[in-house]
Structure 1
Amino acid sequence: MTEQTVSNAVAVRDTGPAAMVEQYRDEYAALMPSHINADQWVRLAVGAIRGDKNLVLAAQNDVGVFLRELRTAARLGLEPGTEQFYLTPRKSKAHGGRKIIKGIVGYQGIVELIYRAGAVSSVIVETVRSNDSFQYTPGRDNRPVHGIDWFGAERGDLVGVYAYAVMKDGATSKVVVLNRAQVMQAKAKSDGAHSDFSPWNTNEEAMWLKTAARRLAKWVPTSAEYMREQLRARAEITAELPSDAPLPPQPTALTDEEPDEEDEAIEAEFVDEDEVA
């Protein structure tokens, strides 16, 4: 490789999508929850984009969209390019069918947001396979009883998924149980589910888990709202804040678009996996 070729390669690298993430490091850091390590977050984002040529090409088609999707991950405090927050190439009608980057909150991201709200001590999200045993009767059983033969034969096909949380006072949240048909209905609502790069095709079990976790998120705190109420209560006790004083504005766990209709009950208002308009 000639010196000129090397120089050109370095120039492309330094002006590409990954370099722009590093360039806007401070802006992303300002959006993140205080416990997030900004340098580590940026390294994950840069590693994700540089490690996948399909992501690079999609990001180059509209760097602004890519940076905006990362902004969502930063505001949520989720790790980009992981099962907390997937980065996927997705065809965009507004871009003439070319692929751009779409950020998708994964089930681990939803669970992380539930934990972060501070109301639960544990979150259980599990798939059920055809050779497992599963018992749960609403109104009779407090929690499902799920039996797995870890050392036996193949567990079989996915047949269902469930999720619940144990609150810090020991109570059990609503138990979400979905069968295959219900999960497939959720999949059918995603215009991007048939993309080769969709998590529905690259990590199907994780998307079953996400479907259940997302339903659970409607029944447990997942956003800053719970933490704001706790802050208000503590402040009232210590007389640091009058009971009717307004709280400072909080960053919303949202993209800049309006939430989908099906997401309105979810406090964290997660990014859906629909095709980009």
Structure 2
Amino acid sequence: MSDLKDRVKQAASGQDDDQPPEQAPVTDLAVGDSARQWLQRRGTFFADALPRHVDKAHFMAVAHSLLPKLKNCTTPSIHTALLACARFGLEPDGRQAAIIPYKGIATFQPMYQGYIELMYRHPRVDSVHFGWVRKNDEWDYEPTAPSPHDFRHRPRVDLTEEERGPVILAYAFAWIDGRRSQVIILNRDQATKIRDKYSNAYKKAEREGTKDSPWHTDFDAMWAKSAVRRLVKVVPTSTELTELIQADDDIDDDQAAPPVIRGTVIARDDQDDDQATTTATWPATAQPGSGDRNAEGGEGA
């Protein structure tokens, strides 16, 4: 009878005799062997997703250094966010891409340098340039003049950044088959209008009074990314670049949910909603091809 009662309690709590007990939370991911082992067990997932030109050991080192900042995020969301970085070959270093803790969810966020990295991979693109124009810089823009004489920017290298004044313009252009593309110029007012019109995450944060969207926390980074994203329209595109834009838009539509990245293995979260925001734990994970369909690294999306 007592054995039956124990089985009833286990069924009610979602436990199973065939599954190992959940590990205790890791309190210090910087030195926690459990976190390191968790990442190593997923190494095959990330290695398989990374493009050939990306150094796998370096990617894993960057990912490991990031784990302490994500210790309160769910493990499936951390897995998915890192896998998104690997899928696009972007390092989660805060420059090419960032993984941002958001309400207990690790969220993949591509940065403008990530977009530029993907543009560089097209064989027709020779170079991509992004820059800021400050108030006291020397610059000129004449749209009717022939390229590349239509735009000129000379930063005041004899002045400090403060002396150069506040940023007034973001600009981006590319050299394609030896010719310079159209110059994308975006001032602060234009960036604000893009934010107000297109960013659902910004609108949601305004309605809820949280003011924690990327546009709230780092306006300049989003301003820069808006300029570079406009450049996508005038450079040769790839499926990879198109998918990055779609993933970026999906994240903005629902910032509290991890993105579904096409062509990646998405981790499943079998926890209850109340458990989804608890401190991350680092359970064992089956390797790809093991046949274990119940492991966190579930089927491809």
TM-score, scaled to structure 2 = 0.63
- Letter of the aligned partner of 1:89 in structure 2? P
Q: 1:166 is matched with which residue?
A: 175
Q: 1:271 is matched with which residue?
A: 248
Give the CA RMSD over aligned residues.
Answer: 2.8
Q: 1:185 is matched with which residue?
A: 193
Distance apart, 1:184 and its partner CA: 1.4
SS at match of 2:32: helix
Aligned length: 216
Instruction: After superposition, give the CA deviation of every residue in 1:8-45 in whole Å (9 maximum; x if it has no partner).
Output: 868993444x5432211011101111111111101101
Q: 2:55 is matched with which residue?
A: 37
Provide the rounded CA distance (Å) in 1 between the counterparts of 2:28 and 2:141.
59
Change in CA separation of 1:178 and 1:184 when aligned onto 2, cut-off 3 Å: same
Instruction: After superposition, give the CA deviation of every residue in 1:91-145 in whole Å (9 maximum; x if it has no partner).
Output: 3xxxxxxx31111111111111010122211111111222223211223242410
Matches within 5 A, 1:86-105: 86-91=98-103, 99-105=104-110
Change in CA separation of 1:14 and 1:190 when aligned onto 2, cut-off 3 Å: farther
- Letter of the aligned partner of 2:193 in structure 1? Q
Q: 1:157 is matched with which residue?
A: 166
State whether structure 2 residue 184 is matched by structure 1 residue 176.
Answer: yes
Provide the rounded CA distance (Å) in 2 between the counterparts of 1:203 and 1:196.
11
Distance apart, 1:70 and its partner CA: 1.1
**Residue segments in structure 1 that go unaligned for 5+ positions in a row:** 1-7, 92-98, 226-251, 254-265
- Letter of the aligned partner of 1:28 in structure 2? F
Matches within 5 A, 1:1-277: 13-16=32-35, 19-50=37-68, 52=69, 55-57=70-72, 59=73, 62-91=74-103, 99-143=104-148, 144-152=151-159, 154-167=163-176, 169-188=177-196, 189=199, 191=201, 200=215, 203-223=218-238, 225=239, 266=242, 268-269=244-245, 270-272=247-249, 274=252, 275-277=255-257
- Letter of the aligned partner of 1:145 in structure 2? R
- Letter of the aligned partner of 1:155 in structure 2? R
Question: Could you tell me whether the CA contact under 8 Å between 1:88 and 1:198 is conserved in 2?
Answer: no
Change in CA separation of 1:178 and 1:69 when aligned onto 2, cut-off 3 Å: same
Q: 1:94 is matched with which residue?
A: none
- Letter of the aligned partner of 1:161 in structure 2? A
SS at match of 2:52: coil
Question: Could you tell me whether the CA contact under 8 Å between 2:202 and 2:214 is conserved in 1?
Answer: no
Change in CA separation of 1:192 and 1:88 when aligned onto 2, cut-off 3 Å: farther
Question: Could you tell me whether the CA contact under 8 Å between 1:183 and 1:208 is conserved in 2?
Answer: yes
Percent identity (aligned):
32
- Greater gyration radius: 2
**Residue segments in structure 2 that go unaligned for 5+ positions in a row:** 1-25, 258-301
Question: Could you tell me whether the CA contact under 8 Å between 2:202 and 2:211 is conserved in 1?
Answer: no
Provide the rounded CA distance (Å) in 2 between the counterparts of 1:36 and 1:205.
28
